[in-house]
Amino acid sequence: MPIAIALHGGAGTILRSEMSPDKESRYTSALRIALEAAYHCLSKQGAALDAVEIAVKSLEDCSLFNAGKGSVFTADGTHEMDASIMDGRDRTAGAVSLVTGIKNPIHLARLVMEQSDHVLLAGAGAMKFALKMQCEMKDEAYFYDEYRYQQWQSIKDTDGFQLDHSAQNKKTPKNLGTVGAVACDIHGNIAAATSTGGMTNKRWGRIGDSSIIGAGTYANNRTCAVSCTGSGEYFLRGVVAYDVSCLMEYKNLSLQDAATKVV
Ligand code: ASP
């Protein structure tokens, strides 16, 4: 079976005018490092599930992306992260929402999948579970990023919230930067993983699609593996990742046709 890996660093638009050659090479090299680490795993006959976790962890450790270290600021000036992972072999899945101070939320999601009887843990409960699992924690300074801070400052006193990276339209901001990966291993098993800091200036315990199995993440060996990025509210309403899989399973659509129809 041929191995495959695909990853993304968010759906936002970074304007050409804002992209210097240096910045561009930092983005591409961070993506390449994640890609190569995951590919290495797959080429050593590693599992798709391990490969997607490796890719997402690598991007979570890089402040350029809105996940883990580079997570955007909430309205309270904190970082609340969401992540999920799914194994296409048997559709087991794990997810966490609204976690803070966790170095790699995707790893915590995997622990939920493998070490608990649950699929999704959120907030204070998820943090207790992380403590029990001795998950690696980081202090606020680790998550501080001047660029993210300035993004937050620009909308902090408004009701607006925004995704990461936009064409700088402050009234209807569109900023994204979530990370995700899908992979197929040598045994033909597939997996998907997604991680995000959500949206800048988000309030009220807002949870997007990234930690919701079926909305932002889905994997099923019979169909496909999906990791979404974009305005989570739309992906939640459309149950997008599952919808793509369903069109393939029930209507025999190709992945391309299913994805095009849903999008
Ligand atoms: N989907 C993510 C969310 O709504 C944001 C993103 O993709 O950047 O939280």
Per-residue pLDDT 10s for the chain (263 aa) are: 899 999 999 987 777 887 889 988 999 999 999 999 999 999 999 999 999 999 999 999 999 999 999 999 998 899 999 999 999 999 999 999 999 999 999 999 999 999 999 999 999 999 999 999 999 999 989 998 888 888 788 777 776 666 665 544 443 333 458 999 999 999 999 999 999 999 888 999 999 999 999 999 999 999 999 999 999 999 999 999 999 999 999 999 999 999 999 99
Query: Does residue 105 line the site of ligand 1, with CB under 6 A?
Result: no
- Closest atom, ligand 1, to C-alpha of 12: 8
Q: At what angle do helices 21-43 and 48-60 cross, to 10 degrees?
A: 160
Question: What is the position in ligand 1's atom list of the atom closest to the CA of 232?
Answer: 4
Pair 194, 83: CB distance under 8 Å: yes
Q: How far is the CA of 91 from the centre of ligand 1 (A)?
A: 22
Kindly give the distance from the C-alpha atom of residue 196 to the centroid of ligand 1, in angstroms, as a whole number. 6
Looking at residue 120, what is its pLDDT?
Answer: 98
To the question of pTM greater than 0.85 for the whole model, the response is yes
Q: Whose CA is nearest to atom 8 of ligand 1?
A: 176
Closest CA to 43 of 224, 185, 192, 221: 185
> Which of 184, 259, 179, 263 is CA-nearest to residue 220?
184
Burial 171-187 (b: 16+ CB within 10 A, else e): eebbbbbbbbbbbbbee
> Would you state the pLDDT for residue 166?
53
CB 211, CB 31: distance < 8 Å: no
Ligand 1 in reach of 229 Cβ (< 6 A) = yes
**Who's near 111: CB < 8 A, 6+ residues apart?**
94, 129, 130, 133, 135
Mutate to test the pocket of ligand 1, among 196, 203, 227 (most ligand atoms within 8 A of CB): 196
Atom 4 of ligand 1, residue of closest alpha carbon: 232
The one catalytic residue in 178, 196, 223, 229 is 178
Q: Answer for the pair 83, 106: CB distance below 8 angstroms, yes or no.
A: yes
**Which atom of ligand 1 lies at the shortest distance from residue 207's CA?**
9
Instruction: For residue 137, report the phi and psi dihedrals to the nearest 5 degrees.
Output: -110, 155
Whole-number Å distance between alpha carbons of 7 and 133:
27
217 - beta bridge partners? 213, 227
Atom 9 (ligand 1) nearest CA: 198
pLDDT of residue 152: 81
Phi, psi of 85 (to 5 degrees): -145, 145
43 CA to middle of ligand 1, Å?
30
Helix (H, G, I), strand (E, B) or coil at 257: helix
Count of all residues that appear for the chain in the document: 263
Q: How far lies 215's CA from each of 45, 52, 83, 157, 227, in Å?
A: 29, 18, 12, 30, 9
Q: Is 100 a catalytic residue?
A: no
Q: Six-digit token pair at 89?
A: 């072999």
Compute the distance between CA of residue 194 and CA of residue 211 in angstroms, rounded to an integer. Answer: 7
